[in-house]
Structures are given as structure tokens and as C-alpha cells.
Structure 1
């Protein structure tokens, strides 16, 4: 998950470089006499990485527009908190100030996507971001 503008710019540069690398790799493999199927098979991992990077970039762009994916499990709450901070154009340093903690603490929490955070910490972050939540629990189909 891309969490900062700097990381977003780096991801776009990496994507641009990776596309060029894939094109060059295809030409190199072609010059070795490999068939189109062999080339396709050989570059499949490169294309998979490119696809993941494109998805990360698209997700960040959606967040910046205020488009949030629904939370389907409690484990996704942390990603959603980060997404809302990004959408609000609030830096980790600004969030840290609101929380009364160090920027390093916010950075660690976000790096781990708030995994293992207490409900009190989650609620504090939500309060600092001006968020509220409604939880709807359903019986899962077995």
C-alpha cells in the first residue's frame, strides 16, 4: 500500500522503468530466437510485478479522490485509517501531533497497518482523524 506522495512518485517512476525493462527483456529474448510463447512465459513474473504496482498506484489515486474500498474484515481497519489520513492530505507528522506521539510511532503503526493495535489506539486514531464507525456483523455462510 502506498502511504505517502513521495512513495507514490517513486512507484510511478518504478513503473515507468519496469515497463522499459520488460520491453527490453522481450527484445533480448526475441534476439535469442525464443518463440512468442517462450517469451511470454519468461516475462510472466515481470508482468505480474507490473500489475501489482499498477494496482497499488490505482488504489492510492482512488484514495486521493475519496473512493474507499469496503472493509470486509476487521484486519482491514488499519488500511482504511491510513487511506483516510491520505485522503485528508494529513502527513504522518501532523497525525502524530494530533495524537501526542512521535512521528516515528505513527510511521511504525502505519508500516504494520495497525496490526496488533489495541482498540483504544484505533479509536484514538479515528478521533484524531474525525472518523466514526458503524459495525455490522453478519453470520458468515459456511
Structure 2
């Protein structure tokens, strides 16, 4: 999870380097005549790792822009509290001052994602940030599972650099992943399929095609 701009820049660097290595490895497999299916299996772990980094980067930008998504599962309240601090525009030092604790304490708590945080402690943090937690019953949606809740962050209009597919398509594919409990590989395939479909529609709508 990304907690500050320094970590965000480091993750972007990891994504850039990881994508470069990913494409170089795929090109190498092609030169060696490795079947596409076998190459996909060999690269699946790398692809899953990079997708995770891209999701983290998009979630950080979403929070930094001031968007705080509803908390769908109390098991993820630690990550939600961190996003709440970011959404409020507070640094770890500023939050520490409001809580009257050391900055090191806040940093340690966030590294552990407020593991086993109690009700009183969570409420104190909310009060310090000026954030109110409200329970709302939703009769029209299914409560997300612990596994899917981690991928329900709406990424708004922010994007993460990607050399193959626009991150907005990854966001859409990520929604399918959360609702259908899909694997990272299936998510990637959906994103690429959407990309190919949009490219096809763009070609069909080109001036040359319309003249025919």
C-alpha cells in the first residue's frame, strides 16, 4: 500500500522497469519460439505483481484527489484509515500532532495497516482527522467478501502509465475482477479485449471507412 508521494514515485519506477522487463521477456520467448500459452503462464506471476502495483498507484491518486470511498468491510478499516488521512490532505506528522503521539508511531501503525486496531483507537483517529464514519444499509447490493473488497476502489479519472492498455480499462476490468472473483490473468485478458474492441470501433469510425 502506498502512503506518501515518495512511495508513489518509487512504485511508478517499479511499474516502468517491470513493464520493460515484462515486454523484453515476452519478446525473448517469441524469438525462441515459445508458444504463446506457455509464455503467458511463465509471465503470469510478473503480470499479477504489476497489476497489483498499478492498482495501488491508482488507489493512492484517488485518495490524494480527495475521494474517500465507502468502507465495505471492517476487516479493511486499516487501509481505509490510511486512505482517509491521504484524502484529508494530512501528512503522517500532522496526524501525529493531532493525536499527540510521535510521527514514528503513526508511521509504524500505517506500515502495519493498523493491525488489530480497537474501536476506541479507530474513533480517536477519525476524530483527529475530522472524518465521520456512518453505517448505511444497502438493500440492493451484496456485501463484498474480504477477498473482493480490496478491489472495489473507484479510480475516477486518474490514470497509471501503461505501455499496452490504458489504466481506465484496467479499472473497468478490475470491477469485473471484484464482482466475479476473477484471477489477475483473466483481468488482464478482459482489459486487452476491451482495448482491442475500442481500437476496432475507432478504425470503423475513421474518415476512410465512413467514405466507403
Q: Does TM, scored on the shorter chain, surpass 0.5?
A: yes
Distance (whole Å) between structure 2 residues aligned to residue 43 and residue 78 of structure 1: 32
Gaps (5+ residues) in structure 2? 144-212
Give the C-alpha shift of residue 138 in structure 1.
Answer: 8.0
Deviations 1:59-117 (A, max 9, x none): 11111122233211222222222112112221111111111111111111111221212
Please tell me whether residue 119 in structure 1 is matched to residue 122 in structure 2.
no
Distance (whole Å) between structure 1 residues aligned to residue 122 and residue 40 of structure 2: 45
Please tell me whether residue 38 in structure 1 is matched to residue 41 in structure 2.
no
Counterpart position of 1:25: 25
SS at structure 1 position matched to 2:77: helix
Contact 1:75 1:115 in 2 (8 A): no
TM-score computed with the length of structure 2 as normaliser: 0.61
Distance (whole Å) between structure 2 residues aligned to residue 118 and residue 37 of structure 1: 47
- Matches for 1:7-26 after TM superposition, within 5 Å: 7-26=7-26
Q: RMSD value over aligned CA atoms?
A: 2.0
Distance (whole Å) between structure 1 residues aligned to residue 137 and residue 122 of structure 2: 18
Contact 1:78 1:110 in 2 (8 A): yes
- Structure 1 segments (4+ residues) deviating >6 Å: 137-141
Gaps (5+ residues) in structure 1? none
Give the C-alpha shift of residue 33 in structure 1.
Answer: 2.2
Distance (whole Å) between structure 2 residues aligned to residue 43 and residue 118 of structure 1: 41
Counterpart position of 1:99: 99
Counterpart position of 2:179: none
